[in-house]
């Protein structure tokens, strides 16, 4: 491999000749060989850096035209567009496990944009610190990149997948409006419920999760950019924070705004904790729904068997014909991961010592993984499971009429204790509630038939 000599404030460094990164990136690449190849800085963060660096160049061109000249501005924007498009992904080699401020990833972006911009210009005009990083610090750019990435991952990934799943449950709900089945609590028989009502519970849970995520996006839309090193805004021109937030909003079509208190924005990650809490709530609901579906589909002969789900692949290497609820299992595994990530995000956010949080890369990594996994698993779950759910109406009807908890309908006519005696006799002797109630003398056959209508108990 051929190398070129780059330098930074610490001296000279040999960098791969074809790489756009510079000395500081190369130092980090050599000093943090941890998780290489499997845990790089998330692509969402790199794209967010492209967005914020372009917005910063625009703000500087407006507020400091003597320093951010038209020529520099256009070159930075052109390079940033390539970063945003993912065309320079190979030039961002750093891993999550680096400095807790993300400084080296900020410098990675500065160096790549400067060197690519210079290449486009055909001359060395841009400096990574003086030009690409103008009016900024790693301490305000990395938290800004985190918020941009988090908002976009929720808005463009999680929410569309969630909305499509909600729509699928709406269709399933309407399709099963007249189907009555046995309800269940504590994994035991309970009073009847319409299958559509059961589905409505799933659908409503997801709608609540959507509301919480939209609320979380509002908080995440505050940006630290403009606070520079410790929140005071040193070396940033007046109005830079508002101007750059407006530019980021224009680039992303999201209403971002500058944080009112930059000291808070640099050191606290509570907005990410709050937003990840909404992701965890979604994970918890998905887990519950997936569990309900695999319980209802259990069998096919020795389980509940009240619904049929798509048979996507063989379920056993030894048991011919076995098919498993694999999509439900994928959902529950993702939920486990998201809940583990929530612990990591919360612990990382608690480490805001003095004027800066120094656990930002791991916080971003876990948040974005949760958002990515939830979005992808919801698409898979909808396409390969929920869309193919079919109620076994005959099985539901049989289970409903075998449920001893239908005796609850008799409470107003024979009282709770007599109803309990009826259920116990029916269970002990494996007879119907009707036969038990009549044998005990609580109701005549005609009166029982008059008052006992399970389908009307919903």
Q: Which residues are tagged catalytic?
A: 186, 316
Burial degree of 254 (CB within 10 A; 0-12, 13-18, 19+): middle
Nearest residue to 378 via CA among 277, 283, 280, 281: 283
Half-sphere exposure of 386 (CA within 13 A, CB side): 28
| Prior bond of 77 cis (ω within 30°) | no
Dist CA 224 CA 261 (whole Å): 8
Residues with Cβ within 8 Å of residue 162, at least 6 apart in sequence = 206, 209, 210, 213, 282, 378
Burial degree of 458 (CB within 10 A; 0-12, 13-18, 19+): middle
Dist CA 58 CA 244 (whole Å): 8
Dist CA 151 CA 154 (whole Å): 5
Dist CA 132 CA 75 (whole Å): 10
Strand-pairing partners, residue 184, are: 189
Q: Are 126 and 75 in contact (CB under 8 A)?
A: yes
Nearest residue to 53 via CA among 112, 104, 2, 122: 112
């Amino acid at each position: 491999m051929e190398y070129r000599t780059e330098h930074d404030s610490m001296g000279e460094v040999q960098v791969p000749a074809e790489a756009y990164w510079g000395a500081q990136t190369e130092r980090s690449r050599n000093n943090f060989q941890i998780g290489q190849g499997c845990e790089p800085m998330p692509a969402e963060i790199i794209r967010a850096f492209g967005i914020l660096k372009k917005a910063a160049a625009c703000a500087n061109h407006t507020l400091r035209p003597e320093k951010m000249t038209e020529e520099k501005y256009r070159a930075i924007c052109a390079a940033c567009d390539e970063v945003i498009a993912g065309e320079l992904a190979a030039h961002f080699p750093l891993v999550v496990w680096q400095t807790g401020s993300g400084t080296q990833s900020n410098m990675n972006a500065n160096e790549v944009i400067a060197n690519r911009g210079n290449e486009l210009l055909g001359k060395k005009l841009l400096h990574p610190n003086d030009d690409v990083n103008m009016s900024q610090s790693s301490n305000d750019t990395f938290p800004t990149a985190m918020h941009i990435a988090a908002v976009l991952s929720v808005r463009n990934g999680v929410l569309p997948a969630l909305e499509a799943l909600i729509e699928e449950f709406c269709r399933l709900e309407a399709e099963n409006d007249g189907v009555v089945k046995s309800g269940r609590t504590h994994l035991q028989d309970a009073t009847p419920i319409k299958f559509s009502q059961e589905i409505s519970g799933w659908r409503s849970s997801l709608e609540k999760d959507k509301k919480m995520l939209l609320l979380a996006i509002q908080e995440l839309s505050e940006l630290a950019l403009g606070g520079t090193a410790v929140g005071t805004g040193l070396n940033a021109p007046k109005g830079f924070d508002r101007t750059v937030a407006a530019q980021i909003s224009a680039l992303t079509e999201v209403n971002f705004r500058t944080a009112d208190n930059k000291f808070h924005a640099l050191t606290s990650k509570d907005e990410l904790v709050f937003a990840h809490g909404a992701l965890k709530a979604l994970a918890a609901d998905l887990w519950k729904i997936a569990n309900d579906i695999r319980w209802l589909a259990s069998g096919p002969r020795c389980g509940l068997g009240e619904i049929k789900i798509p048979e996507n692949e063989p379920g056993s290497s030894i048991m011919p014909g076995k098919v498993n609820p694999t999509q439900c299992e994928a959902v529950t595994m993702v939920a486990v991961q998201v809940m583990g990530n929530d612990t990591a995000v919360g612990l990382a956010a608690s480490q805001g010592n003095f004027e800066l949080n120094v656990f930002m890369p791991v916080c971003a990594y876990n948040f974005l993984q949760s958002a990515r996994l939830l979005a992808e698993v919801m698409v898979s779950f909808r396409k390969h499971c929920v869309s193919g759910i079919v109620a076994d109406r005959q099985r539901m009807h049989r289970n409903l009429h075998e449920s001893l908890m239908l005796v609850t309908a008799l409470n107003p006519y024979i009282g709770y204790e007599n109803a309990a005696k009826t259920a116990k006799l029916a269970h002990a002797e494996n007879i119907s509630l009707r036969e038990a109630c009549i044998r005990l003398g609580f109701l005549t056959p005609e009166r029982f038939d008059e008052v006992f209508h399970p389908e009307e108990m919903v």
